[in-house]
Amino acid sequence: MKPLHILTLGAGGFIGSHLTSRLLREGHRVIALDTHADKLADVLDHRQFTFVEHDIFNHDFPLEQMIEEADLVVDLIAHANPGLYVRQPLDVFRLNFNENLRIAELCVKHQRRLIQFSSCEVYGKSLTAVCGDQLKEPHHPAHATFAEDTTDLIMGPVEKHRWIYACAKQLLERVLHAHGLERKLNYTIIRPFNFIGPKIDYLPRDTDGVPRVFSYFMEALQTGEPMKLVNGGDHQRCYTYIDDAVECIYRIVLNPDGVCDRQIFNIGSPANEISIRELAHLMRDLYRDEFAPANPQLPEIISVTGEEFYGEGYEDSDRRIPDITKARTLLGWEPTWVVRDLLRETMAYYMSAYPKSLA
Please, are residues 358 and 347 in contact by the beta-carbon 8 Å criterion?
Answer: no
d(CA 339, CA 268): 12
Judge residue 101's burial from the number of C-beta atoms within 10 Å of its C-beta, 0-12 exposed, 13-18 middle, 19 or more buried. middle
d(CA 92, CA 79): 6
> Which one of the listed residues 165, 216, 287, 310 is annotated catalytic?
165
Q: Is 310 assigned a catalytic role?
A: no
Please, are residues 309 and 210 in contact by the beta-carbon 8 Å criterion?
Answer: yes
Please, are residues 204 and 287 in contact by the beta-carbon 8 Å criterion?
Answer: no
The set of catalytic residues is 165
